[in-house]
């Protein structure tokens, strides 16, 4: 699991600023949902969170993939990042066929 990126925010920062990590979360989620779906996985691991002496893993079950992709499309439309939005739409179409 060494290839899982470390999430750049602490749990405390996420509690104080819940939307601070949206961009990095959605970018990673789209890519990993694409990989996870193609590999037949039922969950994906997005990030490792280092909290004091503990390592926590941010996992996303397959049951959350469609909603996460829809949320990412909304997010990237609002930030006018249409290439990332298009990628999310392609992945969403692929996993819902």
What are the structural domain ranges in the chain?
28-95
How big is the chain by its Cα radius of gyration, in Å? 14
Contact 55, 49 (CB under 8 A): yes
Contact 73, 92 (CB under 8 A): yes
Mean pLDDT, the chain cut into blocks of 10 residues (97 residues total): 70 70 90 95 90 87 97 96 97 96
Identify the pLDDT of residue 6.
Answer: 76
Identify the pLDDT of residue 53.
Answer: 83
Question: How many Å apart are CA 14 and CA 68, to the nearest integer?
Answer: 18
CA distance to 45, 71, 86, 88, per residue, from 37 (Å): 13, 18, 17, 13
């Amino acid at each position: 699991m060494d290839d899982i990126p470390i999430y750049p925010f602490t749990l405390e920062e996420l509690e104080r600023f819940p939307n601070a990590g949206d961009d990095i979360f959605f970018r990673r989620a789209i890519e990993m949902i694409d990989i996870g779906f193609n590999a037949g996985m039922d969950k994906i691991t997005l990030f490792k969170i280092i909290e004091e002496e503990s390592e926590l893993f941010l996992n996303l079950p397959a049951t959350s993939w469609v909603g996460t992709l829809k949320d990412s499309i909304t997010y990237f439309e609002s930030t006018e990042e249409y290439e990332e939005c298009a990628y999310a739409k392609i992945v969403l179409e692929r996993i819902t066929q």
